[in-house]
Structure 1
Amino acid sequence: MQGGSVSTGDLPKYAAKGERQKLDLDWIKLLHQEGLPPFLPVASDPPAKFRQAIREFNRAQYWQCHETLEELWLPEGYPLRLFYHGLIKAAVGLLHLERHNRHGGTAKLRDAQYALTPFSPKFMGVEIGNLLSDIGKRLAYCQDAEVADWYAIDQLAPVYLHFENPY
């Protein structure tokens, strides 16, 4: 890497032990700078586990969704692993908000926003733009460092992963 810029040639597709968080940030920075790189896998039918995770997410079974997506995320290479990880963070953030944990919810939802933005408006049949909008609405109610408007958050429409399988 030169001059602070990142290129795909500089970044491995898999992280060495103890290097995942740094590599995640480097890949996300690259995606924010250049958009989705052209070497993403050729479009194919999403894995059954992915469709299962979407169903779990849409039923507000956020912990189960997290577990299902983790099975896809752990072995996956970059940059697709960031997509799965962003969805995991969204599910965990929503679970924290459901439990009225403002700090955990906002931290995970902000991470999800940052990770998923390069995959917007739509990726793998999922309307990421809609998800980011729903996340933004929840974060707006949690801006105060001390309190969140739990009543208003609880009254918001449920968050759904709008999925259209184009394959």
Structure 2
Amino acid sequence: MNKPCAQSAPDLLIKALDELNTSLWFECHETLESLWKSLPKDAPERDLYKGILMIAVGLYHNGRGHRLGALRKLPRAVELLAPFAPACQGVDVSKLLACCGRLLVFFANAAPSAPIPPQLLPDIPLPDPA
């Protein structure tokens, strides 16, 4: 496990995951953006936070009727998150990646106006606080 992944989850990461789990996608984006911008540009965990942020942005786009936005953001989330699997800072990254995969299949095959089935939405266990 790389050094940043061995660290405990910062409070803002826990807050963002809770927002992601409760469909507060815009708020999740804002929380994670604040978190990753507070770090040095070479901090590897920035990509973990940006990957989760991309899931929130994709879901936000979809909720505003922009399915193509979701189809563009979720692959980027997968790309950013994959190096952190299976887990980082107590976050089940493998579960996030699986969620992205299910959402991508749904978005690619469902009618643009079809609501996302609840079982496809993120439900990521919150890590223990730092």
- TM-score, normalised to structure 1's length? 0.66
Q: Is it true that 1:69 corresponds to 2:32 in the alignment?
A: yes
Structure-1 residue corresponding to 2:10: 47
Q: Does the aligned pair in 2 maintain the 1:122–1:129 contact within 8 Å? A: yes
Code of the aligned partner of 1:98? G
Q: Give the conservation status (yes or no) of the 8 Å contact 2:32–2:53.
A: yes
- Structure with greater helix percent: 2
CA contact (8 A) 2:86 2:94 kept: yes
Using the alignment, how far apart are the partners of 1:150 and 1:134 within structure 2? 20
- Cα displacement string for residues 5-37 of structure 1 (whole angstroms, at most 9, x for unaligned residues): xxxxxxxxxxxxxxxxxxxxxxxxxxxxxxx7x
Deviation at 1:43, TM superposition (A): 3.4
Within 2, Cα distance between the matches of 1:93 and 1:42? Answer: 24
Deviation for aligned residue 1:91: 0.8
Residue in structure 2 matched with residue 125 of structure 1 by the alignment = 90
Structure 1 unmatched ranges of 5 or more: 1-35
TM superposition shift of 1:148 = 4.0
Residue 125 of structure 1 and its aligned partner are, at CA, apart by 0.9
Identity %: 32
How far off its partner does 1:94 sit?
1.3
Instruction: Show CA shifts across 1:88-118 (max 9, x none).
Output: 1111011112233111101111100110011
Alignment RMSD (CA, Å): 2.3
Matched-pair contact (CA < 8 Å) for 2:5–2:84: no
Say if 1:86 and 1:116, in contact at 8 Å, map to a contact too.
yes
What's the counterpart of residue 31 of structure 1? none
Task: Report which of the two structures shows the higher radius of gyration computed on alpha carbons.
Answer: 1
Q: Given that residues 93 and 105 in structure 1 are in contact (C-alpha distance below 8 angstroms), is that contact kept between their aligned partners in structure 2? A: yes
Task: Compute the displacement of 1:46 (Å).
Answer: 2.2
Are the structure 2 counterparts of residues 98 and 125 from structure 1 closer, same or farther at C-alpha, using a change threshold of 3 Å?
same
Name the counterpart of 1:154: 116
1:28-51 Cα shifts (integer Å, max 9, x gaps): xxxxxxxx7x4x348343222121
Unaligned ranges ≥5, structure 2: none
Aligned equivalent of 1:57, options 2, 17, 20: 20
Contact 1:53/1:65 (CA < 8 Å) preserved in 2? yes
Q: Is the Cα–Cα contact under 8 Å of residues 5 and 45 in structure 2 kept in the other structure?
A: no
